[in-house]
Chain A
């Protein structure tokens, strides 16, 4: 998982297939990254995700609940049609905003400075 910062926003880039084999590693990396108290918002860029099932959706829903409890927010960016459909079926679209790109998500959040 690649990470990038834009102000207080953390952008995480998921790659490949997210299932039972890969979800635990993603969960651990996200939890570690979200340990930084300066991060106020998380954008998950899933544009390079080719497959996701309920294991992957569970990781995202779990982080949504965690962030919501901490009054932080989550957005999804770049979901391809197949991935988006699974996220929709899991009800995620009713909970968090979806954007075409992570840049669009960050700009919508009012941040223009990208930090590597």
Chain B
């Protein structure tokens, strides 16, 4: 992996109204890379899903916790970490992402489909950190940016 060229950190309460804020801020940061508009939309959806998961699952839709987003980028990749201090998930819950909310479970499928890499670090009672990685597809452009 090449070196980090820029980074950001955003912290906000676990309110549904902040889902839109989070995706717009991260997409704006991601736009420093040469992603296509379609790729920026993919990043927005993935961030929206990760933050939604933190609010709905981590904090069970109570505005009691903080969600932190850190993002690093090089000239060829973007890494986003969405973390909460909520109830966390067991391994089985991570796989199934079970729950009664309509559409739940699709969130992880979307993240995995739209990003190049998705990692979930979580343990029951210890919060969750979702790492999302997106790499520039057009490596020729990336190399040109580096030179």
Measured CB to CB, the residues of A under 8 A from B are 17, 19-21, 27, 51, 53-59, 61-62, 82, 86, 89-90
Q: Is the CB of A20 within 8 A of B106?
A: no
Known: A53-B48, A61-B102, A82-B41. 16 other contacts (CB 8 A): A19-B16, A19-B20, A20-B19, A20-B52, A21-B16, A21-B17, A51-B45, A51-B48, A54-B49, A54-B103, A54-B106, A58-B101, A61-B103, A62-B102, A89-B110, A90-B106
Q: Is the CB of B55 within 8 A of A53?
A: no
Whole-angstrom distance between the Cβ of A111 and the nearest chain B Cβ = 29
Bin chain B's interface residue count: 20 to 34
Measured CB to CB, the residues of B under 8 A from A are 16-17, 19-20, 23, 38, 41, 44-45, 48-49, 52, 55-56, 101-104, 106-107, 109-110, 113
Given A19, A58, A89, which contacts B104 in the complex, CB threshold below 8 Å? A58
Which residues of chain A come closer than 8 Å to B17, judged between CB atoms?
21
Q: How far is the CA of A106 from the CA of B63 in the complex (A)?
A: 42
